[in-house]
Copies of this chain bind each other. A is one copy, B any other.
């Protein structure tokens, strides 16, 4: 037996017990006549003591040569510490060692296993198994496990059934790019890895499973942006005989139960906003509502006064920055430079200081007098001391720019407290969006989303105006989940494929099985999927997902630790009836 206790559980209750521990040498302090060693495992740290007087010579000698990260087993007696350490659970005791066995030596690790020293991204990823020993990473993985289990328990208690759907499925080039898997037994044919189990969960509803969930890996072969992974984990859910309201209520329950269980946060509100309102008020379909700074549209007040930057523009829109009137000229210039960066792309930024004394000072004093500016301030609900910032231009672009500025200012003003949780349902998404490049409609959510019943007629006359019973759950400015009521009628699904530019033949080839299924008694159904990586990160108070994933890939989709992807054995390719344009080993 390697241990009687782990390294996190001994206390004064164990005084004088003979114990066996195993773990890693966190550090060793040799005072010449006494050696203290911190022994670490997943559960904590226990202090070992080797004493020239009380410890056998041979044991003492081995202890003198222990290096960092050596794996050792000790047998000893629990004694009370002279100077206690209240920072750790085992801080009242130490173990006077009688027997010491080195289970495995360790080379000096490329970075030390401590909270703040990670050796940089590249090294951490290459030696991820060492990185995982560090508390910040270890805690995130434990936290993820805890959240996953809480999700499963909630959904199981609510009558959801965990059904595993297949990973080797069919390639459907609509949507994002598929990862494909050549089939050896069916030469020249390919499976695809699922971008989501969408069609399968719908088939489960048609199969009468009623309430389904699965925590499942999904795959998208997209050019990776920062903090995106080619494989990611989804909490995938679907329900039968439900309307949007049933789904929103059910999954408010899920998120509320997580916040309560994991964070001890009781009863927070889940306000709702329509997609159109979110865009108008926040310039974003995933607004962070932990803080205000909503948009106010100044077209009526600010146009027609001879200021060319505003006149003839589609939109003049402002936010009011609390306390911003005290910003120095340099600070304001900084903001102007910030919005002019190519990532944002604004041409400039108009500012109006609503001073504490009630006066106004602005970059457009030539065109607008105090009464004008006061009217802006009133309209924007600005208070003395605020700074009004105005952008103008084409509506969509300008809103996106101002939304970015709003988030930037919130960061600078520390309004985005990771310990505050502000969920928000965004509803009534458009069914379709027009794609200028391909000159056709794309599904905003996916091709299986149902139009609102009251908009069915519009499908033929004005598709762009059709709204869907589609919804996103936004948490602290991040989309953590999204779903919709699905089409369950074969005719409507067929019409939808037409609108999306599928030929009848392609629709049948790719989704014929689903259209067939709709003819055999498909019930009304709908669902939602949450991004587990992101959800866990936000609940953990972080914005980046990478350390909540045990073995993430880098921005080129590589696992630098195992060096994947890599070239194949030539005969592997031959067996698959494939040729690579590039040389293999």
A: residues with CB less than 8 A from B are 1-3, 6, 22, 24, 40-43, 69-71, 73, 103-107, 109, 127-133, 138, 141-142, 144-145, 148-149, 152, 156, 161-171, 173, 177-193, 199-200, 203-204, 206-211, 217, 219, 221, 223-224, 230-231, 233, 240-243, 246, 488-489, 512-513, 517-524, 549-551, 553, 556-559, 561-569, 572, 575-584
Contacts and interface: CB of A to CB of B under 8 A. Distances in A.
A156 B149 contact: yes
A361 B141 CA distance: 69
Contacts of A186: 556-558, 565
A128 B550 CA distance: 36
A169 B206 contact: no
Max chain B C-beta neighbours (<10 A), residue from A152, A488, A583: A152
- Interface SS of chain A: loop
29 contacts: A1-B246, A2-B243, A2-B246, A40-B208, A41-B210, A41-B241, A42-B208, A42-B209, A43-B210, A104-B518, A106-B520, A109-B521, A129-B517, A149-B156, A167-B217, A167-B219, A168-B231, A168-B559, A168-B564, A171-B572, A177-B572, A178-B572, A180-B182, A185-B221, A187-B582, A188-B584, A200-B550, A200-B551, A204-B550
Given A167-B217, A186-B557, A189-B567, 9 more contacts: A2-B243, A41-B208, A104-B518, A106-B520, A129-B204, A133-B207, A170-B564, A180-B572, A217-B217
Nearest to A200: B551
Contacts of A488: 104
**Identical subunits present:** 2
Contacts of A580: 182, 188, 577-579
A178 to B, nearest CB: 7
Contact of A2 (B180, B192, B524): B524
B133 A170 contact: no
Contact of A148 (B162, B171, B191): B162
Contact of A162 (B130, B145, B230): B145
